[in-house]
Amino acid sequence: MLEGDEEETEEDGFQGFKSGFVAIVGRPNVGKSTFLNRVVGQKVAIMSDKAQTTRNKIQAVYTSDEAQIVFIDTPGIHKPHNELGEFMNTSAYQSLDEVDAILMLVNAEEPIGPGDKFVIEKIKGKKTRKFLGVNKIDKVSPENLAEFMQSIPNQEVFDGIIPLSALNGNNVEKLVDTLVDLLPEGPQYYPSDFLTDHPEYFVVSELIREQILKNTFDEIPHSVAVQVDSMQKDELDKVHVYATIIVDQKSQKGIIIGKGGKMIKKIGVEARKEIEALLGSGIYLELWVKIIKNWRNNKADLGNLGYNSKDYKN
């Protein structure tokens, strides 16, 4: 709550402070996580060039003196092939009914395709305000960008279309200001230094999974999950992190460990740097690899790994 809220009358409202919730949607790999990290100024969602990197709704918070936006970075909407995919889509769809605005992102490097059109169809009937962010404009020429902008279908669905680069920050501030303008007056839901509602265990597990995706390329697709078993601080303020990498095939376990353990060592070294930046302290990281056959199609396994919610429907 804002200081002095308890003394406000109903007529006073929130003294001009604006707040609300914005869902970020789009097909996989359009830069939703990159945008979110740019807005809040710190990594709260992992980034990868592989599709469907985000699996849970990542809630992150932007706060200024005038406003607070709670962003919900949804998993990329796609055609599901297993229970994990069903969970991801359900998670994304539910977000659309819980927000004050919807921000859809598309990738300016690629033509508008069936996946983008599918997302537009899903959101066009929603009564909430909708904006389209044309991301990755730093990767295309002005001529190609102009052609792309003209090719966007159903432009009347959106209250505004803004080209931007989440990676470089171009027009990101303009988009945030646009969202703030449409938000209602309301309370400050979270403290000013609050960035995400996910616990450290979750963020740490995601940082480890990010390095697996980066270092194993296409050898390990989306059959990998990470579970942080414990995090303990010792007397020297060093945090000991113990985590298990889950795969569903023996061959995948061998790839992650690598010859002579070189791959898992590399994953650990790079993940440790990210975790140290997150926690602000030294880290001891120990990783194990475990095989759980067909875990992406087992609801019990999905629940144990955090891909389950009370809202998930069969």
Cα 54 to chain centroid, rounded: 5
Q: How confident is the model at residue 59 (pLDDT cuts 50, 70, 90)?
A: confident
**What is the mean pLDDT of the segment spanning 190-219?**
80
Q: What is the pTM of this model?
A: 0.64
Per-residue pLDDT at 308 exceeds 60: no
Whether the predicted pLDDT of 80 surpasses 80: no
Tell me the per-residue pLDDT of 293-307, one tens digit each, with 9 for 90 and over.
877 777 777 777 666
- What pLDDT was estimated at residue 177? 95
pLDDT in tens, 116-170: 998 898 888 888 899 999 999 999 999 999 999 999 999 999 999 999 999 999 9
* pLDDT at res. 259: 92
The mean predicted confidence, pLDDT, of the chain is: 81
Q: Give me the pLDDT at residue 107, please.
A: 95
Residue count (the chain)? 314
For residues 208-221, give the mean pLDDT.
Answer: 78
| Confidence (pLDDT) at 12 | 47
For the chain, the three-class secondary structure string (H helix, E strand, C coil) is: CCCCHHHCCCCCCCCCCEEEEEEEECCCCCCHHHHHHHHHCCCCCCCCCCCCCCCCCEEEEEECCCEEEEEEECCCCCCCCCHHHHHHHHHHHHHCCCCCEEEEEEECCCCCCHHHHHHHHHHCCCCCEEEEEEECHHHCCHHHHHHHHHHCCCHHHCCEEEECCCCCCCCHHHHHHHHHHHCCECCCCCCCCCCECCCHHHHHHHHHHHHHHHHHHHHCCCCCEEEEEEEEECCCCCEEEEEEEEECCHHHHHHHHCHHHHHHHHHHHHHHHHHHHHHCCCEEEEEEEEECCCHHHCHHHHHHCCCCCCCCCC
Predicted local distance difference test score (pLDDT) of residue 142:
95
Give me the pLDDT at residue 138, please: 95
Q: Please write the tens of the pLDDT for every residue from 91-104.
A: 556 667 778 999 99
- Position 36 scores a pLDDT of 86
How confident is the model over 257-294, as pLDDT tens digits?
A: 999 999 999 999 999 998 888 788 899 999 999 998 87
Q: What is the pLDDT of residue 92?
A: 56
Counting beta carbons within 10 angstroms of the beta carbon of residue 307, is it exposed (0 to 12), middle (13 to 18) or buried (19 or more)?
buried
Farthest-apart Cα atoms in the chain, separation: 69
pLDDT score, position 198? 66
Question: pLDDT confidence of 112, banded at 50, 70, 90?
Answer: very high
* Highest mean pLDDT, choosing among 44-48, 141-145, 201-205, 279-283: 141-145
pLDDT > 70: percent of the chain: 78
Confidence band (pLDDT; 50, 70, 90) for 2?
A: very low
Which of these ranges, 14-18, 42-46, 164-168, 187-191, has the smallest mean pLDDT? 42-46
pLDDT of residue 197: 66
